[in-house]
Amino acid sequence: MRADRLIAALLLMQSRGRVTAAELAAELEVSVATARRDLEALSAAGIPVYPQPGRGGGWSLLGGARTDLSGLSATEAQALFLLVGPAAAISEEAKAALRKLVRALPRPFRADAEAAASATMIDPTRWGERDRRRPEMVDRLQAAVVHRRKVRLTYAGRTREQTERLVDPWGLVDKDEVWYLLAGTERGQRTFRVDRIVEAEPTGEPAERPDDFTLAAAWQEVVGEVEQRRSRTWATVLIETRFVPVLRDHFGRHCQVEHERDEHGRARVRVGAPTPLDIARQLAGWGALVEVLEPAPVRLELARIGTELAARYAGTP
């Protein structure tokens, strides 16, 4: 891709001060003629690149001019603008940062960058809802994470009983519009739902964080533990193969196809949930379209639900 080569040429001149067409060709793995055409294209585009003839000559940036690309390739820069662009629609800070990033690019490359930035947008508000904004608590906690300051939390658990604890904030995660704080406590790493944090008071004390901590890896551990709890019970069911995609939508990653099709056109599938009742509730609406082979507790829950429904609606005209 030519844009990649042009940016690479600029960065090479920036780091070395001067390059010859032969050196550039060897670095970019192109012919000398192609490297020379790229250098001439940069100069024709208005970038202060000029040749110096003679022995020891080459191409260099006029007056030591610099381009603040930080080593990004064209595809990397485009990926960055694709990410920042949608955020700019809902964040003034992101919009300001985007303008500065665009100005940091050489003029010939700005059109593609601006096109990438405006290619997509984010509308975080669901149909029928008012404009949705990020909770103020998230901003407060984010500042504590960035500046590495301990925070005293007042937290309401599942029973709504409030407790107070001092934590080292390590990172924030937005999971399907629910925010979570990962933090260090005297009992080790803990995860807090931000919407259950009643108060968060920065203390000014420096927070500690393990040297090997990465937010992505820590969150994957949290996800694994939660998903394991959500699939403590597994059931084996038979269902027409054409309905397997719908079943997957209901159970997500807790739906595993064991056999695609039997002689009756049915698939053998395993589905998981926290309890037998949770599985039965999910499957009850399928009626006779689903047959549960095992375990017995799920079959018993389905029978009980069926009996309750029959008793409630028997004789309904």
- By C-alpha distance, which of 168, 176, 175, 177 is closest to 141? 168
Class of domain 233-313: alpha beta
Pairing of strands 266-273, 49-52: unpaired
CATH 1.10.8.50 assigned to domain 2-64? The reply is: no
Residues of the chain with CATH 3.30.70: 233-313
What's this model's pTM, rounded to 2 decimal places?
A: 0.57
Whether residue 104 contacts residue 141, with contact meaning beta carbons closer than 8 Å, is answered with: no
Local confidence band at 229 (pLDDT 50, 70, 90 cut-offs): confident
Both tokens assigned to 42: 């940069």
Phi, psi of 169, deg, nearest 5: -70, 125
Strands across the sheet containing 290-294 = 255-259, 266-273, 233-240, 290-294
Average pLDDT of the residues in 41-51:
74
DSSP letter string, 174-222: EETTEEEEEEEETTEEEEEEGGGEEEEEEEEEEPP--TT--HHHHHHHH
Q: Which two tokens stand for residue 147?
A: 């500046």
Of 116-125, 216-225, 234-243, the range with the lowest mean pLDDT is 116-125
Tell me, letter by letter, the H, E, C secondary structure of 210-257.
Answer: CCCCCHHHHHHHHHHHHHHHCCCEEEEEEEEHHHHHHHHHHHHHHEEE
Three-class SS state of 76: helix
Position 33 scores a pLDDT of: 87
The verdict on domain 136-227 having CATH code 2.30.30.520 is yes
Residue ranges, CATH 1.10.10.10, the chain = 2-64
Express each pLDDT in 66-92 by its tens digit.
555 555 555 666 666 666 666 665 566
- Residue 101's φ and ψ, nearest 5 degrees, are -65, -40
Taking alpha carbons only, the member of 252, 297, 255 closest to residue 277 is 297
CB 151 within 8 A of CB 203: yes
Asked if residue 1 has pLDDT above 60, the reply is: no
Tens of pLDDT, residue by residue over 262-314, are 888 999 999 999 999 999 999 999 999 999 999 999 999 999 999 999 999 98
Q: Where, residue-wise, is CATH 2.30.30.520 in the chain? A: 136-227
Q: How far apart are CA 106 and CA 68, in angstroms?
A: 9
